[in-house]
């Protein structure tokens, strides 16, 4: 895991833990269900950052005979667990709480406390989101944020980005709900805001589940990386062409490359081995994360 990812996760964990404590205190003082939903959301996010750190640590374990390609995909698995936690603990609880408060509204006391806590939470969440945005900028390049989330092979930063973005929107929903509840003296607005927060978290969780499922199943190298690998192979002396190639991410920073290549006619076994070794070196030079490379000489049909 890159240092930028670790910094973004640490910033998000610290912010969410402080926010969760403040929101729980706010709920105890005000009785606002949206504050409780936001507190549970922040606690779930804090636990999620811990899971991402755990995934990074487990993925760093060396390869074993049972897992000869290492444990890189542990990062995808724990990011998938994060999505499930966000869905079940954050989203479904908030939906339940929102529906309950719509059916059985409770009066809100000391709304000023809730507004103050929401303001502090917004500042901390904005800091966490800014840290994640800065950490993601080098990898994102010129891609749009939507494309970055969908194409990134590193799960941690997209997860933190979506969590922080969801948290900020959740705070906006809570602020609107509390404001309307105080102005109109109708506590059901607070329940509606809680329901909106829950539905937002469910949507974010579903997006993360879909993306992490794709990474867990196995994704190929990006089209640009595949072109670079092909150019490296075809630019190798004694290689006549690329016949067939498959790539697979073993983890965010490790790529498997398997290909059949056509070699120049008349090579002896030593020359064949030298040509294959040269092609492997050119692949690693073009795409450094291509660490497991298997090239098979063949004849074009």
Mean pLDDT of 181-199: 89
Residue 100 has what pLDDT? 85
Do 227 and 151 share a domain, yes or no?
Answer: no
Do 117 and 238 share a domain, yes or no?
Answer: no
Do 193 and 238 share a domain, yes or no?
Answer: no
The Cβ-side half-sphere exposure at 189, using a 13 Å CA radius, reads: 15
Identify the helix (H) or strand (E) that includes residue 4: helix 3-30
Residue 225 has what pLDDT? 94
Is the pLDDT confidence value at 38 over 80? no
Residue 180 has what pLDDT? 92
Do 156 and 245 share a domain, yes or no?
Answer: no
* Residue 243's pLDDT band (cuts 50, 70, 90): very high
Full residue range of the structural domain in which residue 177 is found? 3-217
> E-strand spans in the chain?
239-251, 254-263, 290-298
How do 254-263 and 290-298 pair as beta strands? parallel
Is the pLDDT confidence value at 3 over 80? no
Residue 104 has what pLDDT? 85
* Residue 197's pLDDT band (cuts 50, 70, 90): confident
Q: Considering its fold, how many domains does the chain have in total?
A: 2
DSSP letter at 109 equals -
Residue 2 has what pLDDT? 63
Do 186 and 240 share a domain, yes or no?
Answer: no
Query: What is the CB neighbour count within 10 angstroms for residue 80?
Result: 21
Residues 152, 131: Cα–Cα separation, whole Å: 17
Residue 41 has what pLDDT? 74
Do 204 and 228 share a domain, yes or no?
Answer: no
Comparing CA positions, the residue from 136, 151, 48 lying closest to residue 91 is: 48
Do 150 and 276 share a domain, yes or no?
Answer: no
Q: What is the pLDDT of residues 121-141, one digit of tens each?
A: 888 888 888 888 888 888 888
- Kindly state the greatest CA–CA separation across the chain: 89
Is the pLDDT confidence value at 35 over 80? no
Tokens of 113: 């406390």
Q: Higher model confidence: residue 106 or residue 264?
A: 264
For the chain, percent of residues with pLDDT exceeding 90: 28
Do 7 and 77 share a domain, yes or no?
Answer: yes
Q: Answer whether 0.85 is exceeded by the pTM.
A: no
State the CATH number of the domain containing residue 238.
3.30.70.1350
Residue 295 pairs with which residues in a beta bridge? Answer: 259
174, 189, 217 - which closes a domain: 217
Residues 260, 249: Cα–Cα separation, whole Å: 19
195, 217, 239 - which closes a domain: 217
Q: Higher model confidence: residue 261 or residue 41?
A: 261
């Amino acid at each position: 895991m890159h240092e930028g990812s670790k910094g973004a996760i640490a910033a998000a964990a610290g912010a969410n833990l402080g926010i969760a404590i403040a929101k729980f205190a706010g709920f105890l003082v005000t009785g606002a269900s949206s504050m409780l939903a936001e507190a549970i959301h922040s606690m779930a996010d804090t636990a999620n950052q811990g899971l991402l750190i755990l995934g990074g640590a487990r993925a760093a374990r060396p390869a074993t005979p049972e897992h000869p390609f290492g444990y890189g995909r542990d990062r995808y698995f724990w990011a998938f667990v994060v999505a499930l936690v966000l869905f079940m603990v954050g989203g479904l609880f908030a939906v339940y709480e929102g529906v309950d408060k719509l059916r059985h509204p409770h009066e809100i006391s000391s709304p000023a406390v809730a507004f103050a806590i929401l303001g502090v939470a917004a500042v901390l969440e904005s800091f966490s989101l800014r840290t994640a945005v800065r950490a993601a900028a080098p990898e994102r390049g010129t891609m749009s944020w939507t494309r970055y989330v969908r194409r990134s092979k590193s799960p941690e930063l997209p997860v933190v980005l979506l969590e922080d973005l969801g948290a900020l929107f959740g705070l906006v929903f809570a602020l609107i709900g509390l404001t309307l509840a105080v102005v109109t003296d109708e506590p059901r607005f607070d329940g509606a805001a809680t329901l909106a927060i829950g539905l937002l978290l469910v949507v974010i969780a579903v997006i993360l589940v879909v993306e992490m499922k794709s990474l867990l199943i196995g994704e190929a190298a990006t089209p640009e990386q595949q072109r670079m690998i092909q150019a490296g192979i075809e630019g190798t002396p004694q290689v006549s062409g690329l016949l067939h190639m498959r790539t697979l991410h073993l983890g965010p920073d490790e790529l498997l490359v398997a290909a059949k290549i056509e070699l120049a006619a008349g090579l002896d076994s030593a020359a064949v081995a030298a040509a294959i070794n040269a092609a492997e070196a050119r692949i690693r030079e073009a795409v450094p994360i291509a660490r497991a490379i298997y090239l098979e000489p063949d004849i074009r049909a």
